[in-house]
Amino acid sequence: MAIPDYQTVMLPLLKLAADKKEHRFRDAIEELADHFNLTEDERKQLLPSGSQATFNNRVGWARTYMKKAGLLDSPKRDYFRITDDGLQALSTKPETINVKFLEQYPEFLEFKTKSNAKSTTTETDTTLPTEDRTPQEVIEDAYVTIRSGLSSDLLEQIMRSSPSFFERLVVDLLVRMGYGGTRKEAGKAVGGSGDEGIDGIINEDRLGLEVVYIQAKRWQNTVGRPEIQKFVGALHGKNARKGIFITTSDFTNGATQYAEGLSDKVVLIDGETLANLMIDHGVGVALEEAYEIKRVDSDYFSEA
């Protein structure tokens, strides 16, 4: 049979996890390939880029979308297991599980809304082309969806890491962004560790003409205005005029409005922004594939 699309893979993948055990992703791919009676050639068929097997990629997206809906989770790297919501979904004996089915879960709708808000399309499935989108729009929309998933995965990894690793991550990111001079100098500047985060100062420029006070919290709870007020008090205690407050979660509207109204410059970086900065500056991510989109160089063909 032909290689199934990723939505067709969803229900068999969830049923595979129904035993409540932890399943290794690579093993699941083989079991599902057997389930769909794929030939050896179909199992080896690659994406156009040649970077990954087509079936592996589709199983990966089926897993990702069901994770976003809360039907599966990842207890550790490269493993997945079913959740209570996943068991409940199977108990209804659905004929199929697809994107439309997943839209009943608020977590998936939130993920989809965020992806669509950054995309020029309103299609339900932003990873597959439709007749009303140009090839370049398809590529751009797919890039946004992949990046959104990567951002979410990065935050997952950060929350699983130790506080000391989070300290190094923040330092690495700030150095990549041009703060703190060298990695060694930045490491000295951002030193004291606290509960689930770090507090310290770092040079804004390589000459140390200006310093920035930093507070970073590896939190799951939303950061409110009182925490920002405490941070501003700490700034004043250090005679500092600039600060960066980093959290792995989010800020309340009150916290954001308070920071925007300050005479001192206080930048708030939430979890999504943190992950996007890591992607932009190459921290904790590796290049998997690069594509170039070219156009005709009209200057070259000018005979004037």
> Do residues 182 and 193 lie in contact, with contact meaning Cβ atoms separated by under 8 Å?
no
Q: Same domain, yes or no, for 256 and 169?
A: yes
Q: Same domain, yes or no, for 151 and 77?
A: yes
Asked whether residue 78 is domain-assigned, the answer is: yes
Q: Same domain, yes or no, for 257 and 153?
A: no
Q: Same domain, yes or no, for 151 and 167?
A: no
Asked whether residue 291 is domain-assigned, the answer is: no
pLDDT band for position 63 (50/70/90)? very high
Q: Same domain, yes or no, for 146 and 85?
A: yes
> Do residues 174 and 303 lie in contact, with contact meaning Cβ atoms separated by under 8 Å?
no
> Do residues 62 and 5 lie in contact, with contact meaning Cβ atoms separated by under 8 Å?
no
Asked whether residue 196 is domain-assigned, the answer is: yes
With a pLDDT cut of 90, the percent of the chain lying above it is 50
When divided into structural domains, the chain yields a total of 2
Q: What pLDDT was estimated at residue 57?
A: 87
Least confident of 29-33, 130-134, 212-216: 130-134
Asked whether residue 289 is domain-assigned, the answer is: no
Asked whether residue 144 is domain-assigned, the answer is: yes
Q: For residues 43-78, b (16+ Cβ closer than 10 Å) or e, as one string? A: beeeeeeeeebebbebbbbbbbbbbbbbbbbbeeee
Q: Same domain, yes or no, for 155 and 171?
A: no
Q: What is the pLDDT of residues 184-222, one digit of tens each?
A: 777 655 545 444 445 677 888 777 778 888 888 888 899
Please name the residues in contact with 202: beta carbons below 8 A apart, sequence gap of 6 or more.
Answer: 171, 174, 179, 180, 186, 189, 190, 211, 212, 214
Asked whether residue 294 is domain-assigned, the answer is: no
Domain interval for residue 182: 163-280
CA gap 23, 65 in Å, rounded: 17
CA gap 189, 63 in Å, rounded: 41
Asked whether residue 219 is domain-assigned, the answer is: yes
The domain that holds 218 is classified in CATH as 3.40.1340.10
CA gap 66, 80 in Å, rounded: 11
Q: Same domain, yes or no, for 268 and 247?
A: yes
Q: Same domain, yes or no, for 151 and 186?
A: no
Q: Same domain, yes or no, for 239 and 217?
A: yes
> Do residues 69 and 34 lie in contact, with contact meaning Cβ atoms separated by under 8 Å?
no
pLDDT band for position 142 (50/70/90)? confident
pTM, rounded to two decimals: 0.69
Q: What pLDDT was estimated at residue 86?
A: 97
Q: Same domain, yes or no, for 174 and 271?
A: yes
Q: Same domain, yes or no, for 20 and 136?
A: yes
Asked whether residue 255 is domain-assigned, the answer is: yes
Arithmetic mean of pLDDT, 129-133? 43
Q: Same domain, yes or no, for 169 and 154?
A: no
